[in-house]
Amino acid sequence: MQGKDRSTKWIETSPGYRTTSGNIAAHSDFGSMALQPVIVPREKREEIERQFLSIGATVSLGSGNRSRPEDPDPMRTAFERDRDRILHSTAFRRLSGKTQVFIFPNDHQRTRLTHALEVSQVATAISRAVGLNVALTEAIALGHDCGHGPGGHASEDAFSKFLSEGYDHAVWGADHTLADLNLCLETLDGIRNHSWSRPQPITHEGAVVSFADRIAYCSHDLEDAISAEVVSTHSIPESITAVTGSSRSGQLRYFISDMVYTISRTGEVAMSPEAATALAELRRFNYEKIYMRPDSLEQSIAVIKVLSMLVDYFLENPKEIKGIPLSDLNGDPSSVMTASIGYVSGMTDRFAFQKAVDLLGLDPLSLPKGIDLTHR
């Protein structure tokens, strides 16, 4: 009876509630809260950016610098538009099913999606504090890992076997995964060059995301590993905890504050030597104790095997690549290779490993598995 009553009430809200002026409100008791609206269209926000952002920040202008010209949006700036396109994209949604560190994470461990959201929080906190373009920062941060394949960084090793230039998730994400979104040059550059091994991004906002990515994953990967009992809080070297503390929140607060102070003092998107040393020590600890632990290496070997076999399968059977008509490939080996890698790299962990069972006949027991905490 309660379920029926709840359903009835839910249906009854569909038309909304008429206001005294004849419009429709979301709540029956909307009342008469006074509002004197000020419409802030795109042009006005662009002018606000020019007035209030720091010298050297990236300002929005019209529809933005895109490979395919578009009319400007009446309400959103070019970088707000980019952020929204990434947020609503299939590639971004699929990050929820892709490995950050632990395959098939439990309810409390990070996925690529939650990692992207945490990078966005760190990066926008820094950019907002020092007067950079928050919308551009957010767009780069949300899109920075959309080129990652299933199974974590091991997927890059798997796909690199098929490409003479190798597979870099940052480059692939900008040049292939997100290409159809027609994003601004500045957004794509920040995504393409967020890795520290890549060239310096052309914007300060992109440089901020490069730091935010490393700050976020060093802190939250450690927290996940502690939760999974891979490492303990007491095993973190004092050279790290004495500077940043041992909690994720303390580490984020320290690194964000240091970057804001360093940028405001020097005009450089950089860290102080003390903070940079602590971050490097934290990353080194994670590398040795988490990423390179025997279970992780074994998991990587299994991932590389599965993904390599899947790419080989689709190279031989391009007609089974979803979303790309066979006629578009024209029998061109390069196009078939790009399509095969693009299809497999876009898969979630679960989808890829299920395909390995269905198409390749692999034994499910031979596939990578997540950490089972129920038997500890």
- With 0-12 / 13-18 / 19 or more C-beta atoms within 10 angstroms meaning exposed / middle / buried, residue 21 is exposed
Position 370 scores a pLDDT of: 66
With a cut of 60, say whether residue 40 has pLDDT above it: yes
Transcribe 65-94 into DSSP letters: SBSS--PPPSSS-HHHHHHHHHHTSHHHHH
Q: Are residues 198 and 263 in the same domain?
A: yes
Look at residues 255, 271, 294 and tell me which one is the last residue of a structural domain.
294
Query: How many structural domains are present in the chain?
Result: 2
Across 89-104, average pLDDT: 92
Q: How are beta strands 17-18 and 24-25 bridged, if at all? A: antiparallel
Look at residues 270, 294, 318 and tell me which one is the last residue of a structural domain.
294
Phi, psi of 340 (to 5 degrees): -65, -45
With a cut of 60, say whether residue 65 has pLDDT above it: yes
pLDDT per position as a tens digit, 142-162: 999 999 999 999 999 999 999
Q: Enumerate the H helices of 42-153 as residue ranges.
A: 42-52, 78-87, 90-94, 112-130, 134-143
Q: Are residues 115 and 225 in the same domain?
A: yes
pLDDT per position as a tens digit, 110-119: 999 999 999 9
Range of the domain at 336: 296-362
Q: Are residues 99 and 168 in the same domain?
A: yes
Tokens of 217: 């994953």
With a cut of 50, say whether residue 306 has pLDDT above it: yes
Position 270 scores a pLDDT of: 98
User: Within a domain: residue 77?
Assistant: no
User: Within a domain: residue 63?
Assistant: no
With a cut of 70, say whether residue 252 has pLDDT above it: yes
Position 93 scores a pLDDT of: 98
> pTM, whole model, 2 decimals?
0.94
Q: Are residues 238 and 323 in the same domain?
A: no
d(CA 195, CA 314): 29
